[in-house]
Structures are given as structure tokens and as C-alpha cells.
A and B are shown apart, each in its own frame.
Chain A
Amino acid sequence: MTMHRRGFLQTGAAVAAAAMLPRTASAAGAFNPAPQAWRNFQVVTRLEIANQAGRLQAWIPVPSVNEDAWFRSLDSTWTSNAKSAALMHDPASGAAFVHAEWSEGESAPVVEVTSRISTRDRAIDLAAPGSATLSDAERKRYTAGTELIPVDGIVKQTADKITAGATSELDKARAIYEWIVDNTFRDAKTRGCGSGDIAAMLKTGNLGGKCADLNALFVGLARASGLPARDIYGIRVAASRFGYKSLGANADIITKAQHCRAEAFLTGYGWMAMDPADVRKVVLEEPPGNLPAADAKVADARKTLFGAWEGNWLAYNMAGDIALPGSSGPKVAFLMYPQAEGSAGRLDCLDADNFKYVITAKEIVA
């Protein structure tokens, strides 16, 4: 689902034209994340839910991604005055969350979840493909459509146009990544990270949004092209060491720093980092803002975020369309924000101040 915005074509055309300009020299190759030392972080999510009568439940995402090269979910612990609280997993995806339920009449429901992770930069050497392969079952899973990310209809038509003439998987992934960067835009007014309804984006021609829209579009177009791809839902936990103010959490409180990234699987290379949405974030937000495509920081981000990203980010899960156990409400498209539900219905997870919840992060240095 998207909203109409008549200015889209002009904006898109301007960006596309700007992308054709010669690039200026990059900032000495400044944005060059590479797998080096692991960094450890502790993330605390605290919910203090007020003004809820009747049965009250909450579901707090905890990290469940484990990738040898770049991310380790360590332990998650919690304290709460709930009558029950347990670590649970979505059966389809393995996404983990703490499910808490309070007794009726609890005057000050609270739960605090502490998670520890290790993370580091990742990058792939495009000149040195290895021997990575994907099982048939995984390939089927990561090329399939979902409720919000269909891989037929206009998504397939668009993908076929974008990848026409691309002969290798790498060429296809590159073509789709560049198309996203050239044709979409980050819309600051999008709530949260967006909804990720990519068919609506393509049908209406409104290609504005945030990470859950733009990177989902990458995933859908890739899958429709036969490339396995997936979204990873997470949150930024630290400032960028490469000087990108827009690509990091710049304070200990990270309540509104959620960010989802994408991956595509290329035979030989394995899962590759993809974050075209963050290129558009640099364009819009990197000071002084509204940078041209030819700006060195934009050019660096565009070059780097195809195959690499910085390890200042926590990966919760790769799950979509999650049914929350015990909930009477609809499935959530993704589990990147704490969720809670009282007798009057589900709380607004994007309204942290009224919900309310606070997420903090700190690096653990040995």
C-alpha cells in the first residue's frame, strides 16, 4: 500500500539524471567496511505500559540471526512483573521474541529484555568468487513470493525489464540495485520503516518510502528474477566509524533506530550484503542534506553498499508475516518493533513515547 504523490515522476527523473553525471573523486575510499575485529553490544529494551485494562501481552523481538561471517546472537535475558514471560520462536522462520503476559489489574506492567550480540563489518570480494551454493529447499524459499512481496505480475514485469541483457547473477543483482538507487527516494514522512507493499509501489509509480519499502523492493525484484534474496530486520546500535551521520545510531538511546537490510544469494559468492535504501538515506539525510548523486559520500555509499555494510547494526530476524502467539490481532508484516496488545486492541508500536518503550545500546569493551 502506498500513497499518491504527484511529484514522483519529476523527482525520479531528476535523480536518474543526476546519477548519470560523472562522479567526483570519492572521499579517498573512506567508506570501506571489511571483516576485522568483532564488536560486542548489549541492547536493553524496556517496556512500561500504561493505561491498559484487561488482559495485556507483549512480544519483544530479540536477536536470532547467526551468520558465521558477520553476526552472532548471544544470550537474551529478561526481568518482568508479568505473570508469565518466555522466550519463543516463530515456527516458520525461527524469529525469536520474549512473550510476556500480565495478570489483569497489574497497575504498572513492565518488562526489560537484555540481549547481547557480536557483530562486525562484512564485505565480499567480487573478484574472488568461492564455491557457495544454496540447497534446493533454500532456493525455493528465498525466491518465493510473500503477502506483501509478490514475485509475479508487475513485479515480474519490472524485474524482467530491469535485468534484460544481464547475463550473470551478478549482473542481475547489480542492475536491480542500481535501478533501486536511481528510481526510488527516501520519504521522510513515511511512518516507521514503511510497510513494504511493493506491488502497490510499482502500480502507483510512487517509489518513495524507507528501508522496509526500498529494500523489500530489491528483494521482490531479485526473487522475481530468480535470485534468492531476503530482508533482515534489525536496529542500528552505534555510530558509523566511517563518518556517515545518517548511517548510525548517534546516541545510547536507539528507540527509533530500526533498520532493515537485504541480501541476495549469488552462486559462488554466497549471501551478499545489499542496502540500496541506505544509499537513498545518505542522499536525503547526510549533512547538509539532499545531496546530489554525484556527491562523494553518495558515490561511496552507492559503491560500497552493494556487497558490504558496516557492523554497527543488530540483526533481529529474517521473518515476514508473523502470527504473534496469543494475539487476537492480525499478523505483523515483520517483527522489528516491540508489540503489545490489551483488551482494547494492539498498541501503536511506532509510537514509542505513548506505548511506551525505550531501547538503549552500549558497546561492551573487554
Chain B
Amino acid sequence: MVWLLTLCAATIAAVTPLLAQPAESTLTPWTQGNLVPFSLDALSGDRHDLAADRGHAVLVHFFATWCEPCRAEMTALQRFAERTAGKPVTILAIDVGEVDLRVRRFFAAQPVTFSILLDRDRALVKSWQVDALPTTIVLDRTLTPRFVVAGDFDWDQPAADRMLDDLTKTESSEEPPLAPARTRSAIRENDR
């Protein structure tokens, strides 16, 4: 018993720091390089090619219906979609690894106006190295990844609108959509 408890205590102490801390759900600048474009089936039955969204800022939002924070965030994302209607912004909500039927039932009870895509075999989350749900990756108008939020995010906060405003004002891929320092500052201000 003594050796067991000793070993147990030692391993817990040694390993706990190795585990990732739960992510702060804030937008952080993307630092991991380019992502491979995708083409996925949509819940509507169509096929959606990311390349078709060039010219828009794109929120690529990964979720699952079983994920409790995802469900709450989906309603905020819908409000965000309504606020940004008419602007060059596309929201793509990508369900991960669930059967179509379940996703269809979920959105029948909670309709949204943006596209629902299906990563049935998890190939996209593996390719994009998305480890947890929900996760949102924000692409600029050239489809270059600019921000990521790992965890549920408050899409009602003004910083979200400002971030999208800045991204959608960008005209050229040669010109950064906004200075990272300014973005981080703006978001932190709103997080208080």
C-alpha cells in the first residue's frame, strides 16, 4: 500500500503539469501556417468548396451536437450571422463525426441561416489539427488563417464585430488585415 500511494503521488505530481491547461476562449492570432482547403458535403445536400468563399472573411466553426458548450455557442453564432448579414462574411459550421440524421434533427429544432457542413470521417479535423470542440478558425478574404479560438466564444462581444470589420476591409492579400498588436489589445479590452 505504501509503495502504491507513493508511486501514485509521484506520478500525479510529475504528470499534471504536462497536461494542457483548458484554453482561454479568446481569439488568438494564428501562428501555425497555411491550411489545406477543403470540400465537404453540406447538410442541405450540396457540396461546399472553401475556395468559393474567397473574397469573404470566413469563420470555420467546428462543433458537435453532443458538445454542450457548442450548443450554447451556436445561438450566439446565429445572432452574429444576423448582425453581419450583407457584409462579406461567411460562417461555415462543421459538424464533426456524427451521423447526418442527428445533425438534421438538431438544426430542425434550432435552425440557423449559415451553412452546416459534415466532416463525417473527421478527415478535416485531423488535417487542420483541431483537437477540441468547439473550435473556430477565422480566415481573411484571401482564405489565409488569421485567428483561432479554442473553446466556446462570446460572439456577442463588440470585439468580434470589430475583428470581422477589420478583416472585411482588407483589399489585398499582400496587406495584413490588421496589426496583430492592435487586435490583441482590442480583444483583451473586451475580455475584462
Q: How far is the CB of A166 from chain B (nearest CB, A)?
A: 7
Q: How far is the CB of B87 from chain A (nearest CB, A)?
A: 28
Residue B109, interface by CB 8 Å: no
Contact B99 A178 (CB under 8 A): no
Which of A178, A199, A329 is B11 in contact with, Cβ under 8 Å? A178
Docked Cα-Cα span, A161 to B16, in Å, equals 9
Residue A5, interface by CB 8 Å: yes
Near B by CB (< 8 A), chain A positions 305-338 give: 329-331
1/0 per position for B1-36, CB-CB distance to A under 8 A? 000110111111011101111110100000000000
Residues of B within 8 A of A351 (CB): 102
1/0 per position for B91-103, CB-CB distance to A under 8 A? 0000011111110
Residue A106, interface by CB 8 Å: no
Q: How far is the CB of A10 from chain B (nearest CB, A)?
A: 10
Residue A73, interface by CB 8 Å: no
Q: A205-B22, A347-B99 are in contact. Are A4 and B134 (CB under 8 A)?
A: yes
Contact A9 B22 (CB under 8 A): yes
Residue B140, interface by CB 8 Å: no
Contact B4 A1 (CB under 8 A): no
Q: How far is the CB of A67 from chain B (nearest CB, A)?
A: 28
Contact A345 B20 (CB under 8 A): no
Most A CB atoms within 10 A — which of B4, B99, B134?
B99
Q: Which residue of B lies closest to A187 (CB)?
A: B68
Q: How far is the CB of A279 from chain B (nearest CB, A)?
A: 13
Residue B132, interface by CB 8 Å: yes
Residue B125, interface by CB 8 Å: yes
Q: Which residue of A lies closest to B6 (CB)?
A: A165
Contact A6 B7 (CB under 8 A): no
Residue B51, interface by CB 8 Å: no
Residue A346, interface by CB 8 Å: yes
Residue B139, interface by CB 8 Å: no
Contact B10 A165 (CB under 8 A): yes
Residues of B within 8 A of A6 (CB): 22, 151
Contact B132 A2 (CB under 8 A): yes
Q: How far is the CB of B72 from chain A (nearest CB, A)?
A: 12
Stretch of A124-132, A188-196, A261-269 contacting B (4+ beta carbons < 8 Å): A188-196
Q: A1-B97, A4-B151 are in contact. Are A206 and B8 (CB under 8 A)?
A: no
11 contacts between A and B (CB under 8 A): A4-B23, A4-B132, A20-B9, A154-B18, A179-B15, A200-B131, A200-B132, A202-B19, A204-B132, A205-B21, A347-B99
Residues on B close to A: CB < 8 A? 4-5, 7-12, 14-16, 18-23, 25, 64, 66-70, 96-102, 120-122, 125, 130-134, 150-152
**Contacts beyond the supplied A1-B130, A3-B69, A347-B99: 6 A-B pairs with Cβ under 8 Å:** A1-B125, A4-B69, A8-B22, A178-B4, A179-B12, A204-B132
- 4 nearest CB pairs, A to B: A330-B121, A345-B100, A191-B66, A4-B151
